[in-house]
Structure 1
Amino acid sequence: MKTISKYYNYLASDSLYGNSIYLMLSTAIMAFFGFFFWIINARLFTPEQVGIATTLISVMTLISSFSLLGLGNGLIRYLPTSERKNKKINTAFTLVGLTSIIITIIYLLFIKIISPSLLFVRENVFFSLLFIIFIAFTSLANLSENIFIAYRSSLYVLLKNTIFSIIKIVLPIFLISLGAYGIFASVGIAMAISFLLSVGFLVRKFNYLIKLIVDTDVVKRIFKFSLGNYAAGFIGGLPAMVLPILITNSIGAKFSAYFYMDMMIINFLYIIPMATSQSLFAEGSYGEMELKTHLKKAIKIISLILIPAIILTLSLGKYVLLAFGRSYSNEGVILLQLLTVSVIFNSINYIIGAIFRIKNMVKELIILGFVNSCLVLFLYMVLIKYGLFGVGIAWMLGQVITSVVSIIMLVKSKYE
């Protein structure tokens, strides 16, 4: 027992290990509660309603990601050494909030063309207003996590997302009369509360003062880096965000639901490289002198946790899917296995991406994001005739080729 306690204290005292673990726990809790959230919804709603809800949530994720403008990574990179932290934070919050509102309104205006199955949202004024509000809060809540990471205080990300997950899982039963929109509203309400909680943490623990401003000096300081990261992150994240929409439009909403549940399970695995690479990025932003040491730690912790997790998912994935219903297991198990294998290559991309951010190699980040998205979406169009199996092959091949390209680019950069 003393050995375990001593080992825990060692991990907690190391900033990279400690913050990586908090971020992993945060995402694990979200995925765990999310798992039961979708089990509840699968029992309360039809597959078609679940499919529409996953499409709504995907749209919210897409717009909120677009609205971040790369400022999350900009804050991680420049907030640690800044003497005007509040100005940077307030400028980022203001820009992200306004951008999300504008983009959501534009989306609603063209929803009949972009997502005809979601036209009911625009036809209901109440739904439309809430749609705008929920997406704005989601964008701001996501940005707040980057602020805590920049402060190397990921414990608050864990607290925020735990509250979010608990609230989210309780709400669907009270909103069942809203159908698919009830599922979406459950996520939106929980996200709004979690953002307000984040602001409370910032005010109480980090002397944050709320003010709606756009400081031009701040924008000039971090704009180039943020814009490059924005482009790289948005382009690279397109497949995960748009595939549910494409699947709904091409082979049906129920297949979008099967894909979404598989991706939700895979998020348990993505926790590991994603959290570790974020902590690596934060540590490197305080100084590059120890980058090699931090990199070794990052590879070590990913390997120790990810390999057993992959083996477990490959072995037990089909049984986990049964919790949603037999159709989810029968239709989704092969896709789940393909996505599981691809996490190995995603890990390489995450770590190299963190190194590129630390070294301000924005061009390389954009190239990697472009390569990944083009590959996955092109292969999707070629292989969708094979159903979800084709989607899985497209995803896996995209990650494999992107990881090879990223390694080549990293090696090449050392000789320039």
Structure 2
Amino acid sequence: MNRLLTALRDSSVLRSAAALYGSTVVTAGLGFAFWAVAARLTSPAEVGSAAAAISAMQLVGSFCTFGLGSLLIAELARRPAGAVRVVSASLAVSTVAGFALAYALAAVAGGLLGVGGPLFTTWAGQLLFALGVAGHAATSVLDLALVGARLSGRQLLRNTVFAVAKLALLPVGAAVAGLSASWIYAAWLAGTVLSVGAVLARSTRPRRWLRPPAGPSALRGLGGQAAGHHVINVSAHAPSLVLPMIVATVLHPVDNAGFYLALQIAGFAWAVSVHLSTALFAVSAGDTGRLRRELLVAMRVSLLVTAAGVAGSLLLGSWALGILGPAYVPAAPALTLLFAASLPSAVKALYIAVCRVQGRLRLAAGSVLAGSALEIALGAAGARWGVTGVATGFLLATVLQAAAMWPRVAAAAGYRLRRRPPKPSTSDASGDPEDGVAGDVAGDVTGDVVDDAAARPAKEPAEVRHA
């Protein structure tokens, strides 16, 4: 126990992840309050419809970031002199693409297919949906740009203003016209706009951000890096955004209200592994010895978080959902299953970090894309048994992925998964005998396909080294 506590205290990954998680706790906590207030001010059907629309907004908006946010973290550190030009071009591309794609999708869904409710079937609703997507795409890029510029305080400020503003606007909407799904969506959009204004107000030279943005030419030569990050980022988040839309369509918006809020609560546990993965890549790039040490800490923390989440949901899940109303209580079993999925999901997140450190960005993109498709497929197949079936299918998919991804994670952590006759010892470039063990494990697990960086230096392409 003392060794574990010492490792946790000395872990740079844990410290970095804790800083990121602090922002998540603030925004997610206020986000849960947002849905709790909405549940009290309107019907579960309106809450479910709004949740499906916001999930669609986040999905399309995340797609329209094109990996530019992750790219900016590396680029701003490499060439800070051109920060304004690169950031403004990234914001312009994501905003315009988000608006155009969202408006086209809303017009097709509402105008041609007649689905989606008021947000899609009227021109005002289609415009509102498109503005929401454009805002989400732009702020997603902006948040990571602030992190890359070492302005995490402003990133926290933006998210805090966003969470507080949208929460404060809900009672206003209820008093003015009754709280409908469209009003809930509009409050979300208004919070986004106000949060960007708060960041501009804190800028030392806000006028430079109000000039016409740089064109896409400012991003020339960066497409390959952005594409790899884009596939990983969108694929990893797609299931949590697509499944609520499936539940609202296949089952009922009332069912989706409970399922969506269960996802929000379980997200507190999932966020731990996501931030651990981000921090692990940031501090371990090019240092496989540190990767091995920090990966062990991340795995232990993920296990503890999952155990606490499952135990807490079993004891308090029904009570927590019951606060929102009796219509939300049937989602309690799904909440426990979603918390249980946080451990295999952590293996997936750590697998992404390991692949990035080892220079295997393409492998990570393909694996995560296939795994996310499996999560959506099995979750949708379980819909015939209600929201509990959806959560069961999702959990099964994450377990199957973890089983496939675990060997690479275990090899990077230094675990020997299969014994073989010892080889004559060879000296490693680093002089550390433990690195030879990690190389042997990598060979045991993945054969000639895996080039473990502890056994021989990985040849990382330029785009991965700067990612």
**Bin of the TM-score, shorter chain as denominator length:** 0.7 to 0.9
- Other structure's SS at 2:323 match: helix
AA of the residue aligned to 1:148: L
State the distance in 2 between where 1:282 and 1:306 align: 24
Counterparts of residues 227-266 of structure 1 (less than 5 Å): 227-266=227-266
> Alignment partner for residue 28 of structure 1, among 16, 25, 30?
25
Post-superposition CA distance 1:283-330 (Å, at most 9, x none): 34597774444434544554555543443233211111111112211x
Secondary structure in 2 aligned to 1:275?
helix
Structure 2 equivalent of residue 3 of structure 1:
none
Partner of 1:196: 197
1:335 maps to: 334
Aligned residue identity for 1:283: V
TM-score (normalizing by structure 2): 0.78
Match in the other structure for 2:125: 127
Q: Which AA in structure 1 matches 2:251?
A: I
Alpha-carbon distance change, 383 to 304 in structure 1, aligned in 2, over 3 angstroms: closer
Q: Measured at CA, do residues 390 and 31 of structure 1 come closer, stay the same or move farther in structure 2, by a change above 3 Å?
A: same
Write out aligned runs for 1:290-369 (5 A): 290-299=290-299, 301-303=301-303, 305=305, 307-329=307-329, 331-369=330-368
- What amino acid maps onto 2:40 in structure 1? R
1:102-141 C-alpha deviation (Å, 9 max, x unpaired): 1112112211379744242244443333322222111111
Aligned to 2:37: 40
* Contact 1:77-1:285 within 8 A present in 2 as well: no
- Counterpart of 1:344 in structure 2: which amino acid? L
Q: What does residue 80 of structure 1 align with? A: 77
Instruction: Mark the runs of 5 or more structure 2 residues left unpaired by the alignment.
Output: 412-445, 453-457, 459-467
Distance between the aligned counterparts of 2:11 and 2:203, measured in 1? 23
Partner SS state of residue 396, structure 2: helix
- In the TM superposition, 1:49-128 aligns within 5 A as 49-83=46-80, 84-112=82-110, 116-128=114-126
| 366 and 243 in structure 1: CA distance in 2 versus 1, 3 angstrom threshold | same
- The whole-number CA distance in structure 1 between the counterparts of 2:288 and 2:202 is 29
The residue number in structure 2 matching 1:388 is 387
Instruction: Mark the CA change 1:359 to 1:120 in structure 2 (over 3 Å): closer, same or farther.
Output: same
Q: CA deviation at 1:266?
A: 0.7
Q: Which has the higher helix share?
A: 1
Find the counterpart in structure 2 of residue 4 from structure 1: none
- Alpha-carbon spacing, 1:134–1:382, altered in 2? closer, same or farther (3 Å): closer
Q: How far is the alpha carbon of 1:46 from its aligned partner?
A: 0.9
Partners of 1:149 and 1:282 within 8 A in 2:
no
> Contact 1:137–1:195 at 8 Å: present in 2 too?
no
What does residue range 377-416 of structure 1 map to in structure 2 within 5 Å?
Answer: 377-410=376-409, 411=411, 412=446, 413-415=450-452
- Which of the pair has the greater relative contact order for Cα pairs under 8 Å at 6+ separation? 1
Distance change (3 Å), C-alpha of 1:300 and 1:89: farther
Question: 5+ unaligned residues in a row in structure 1: which ranges?
Answer: 1-6
1:156 aligns with 2:154: yes
Match of 2:433 in 1: none
Q: Kindly tell me: are residues 283 and 195 of structure 1, through their superposed partners in 2, closer, same or farther at Cα, counting changes over 3 Å? A: farther
Identity level (%): 21
Helix, strand or coil at the partner of 1:324? coil
Q: Which has the larger radius of gyration?
A: 2
Alignment CA distance shift 1:379-1:123 (3 Å): closer
Letter in 2 for 1:180: A
| Change in CA separation of 1:190 and 1:209 when aligned onto 2, cut-off 3 Å | closer
Structure 1 residue 57, shift from structure 2 partner? 0.5
Provide the C-alpha distance between the structure 1 equivalents of 2:385 and 2:395, rounded to a whole number of angstroms: 15
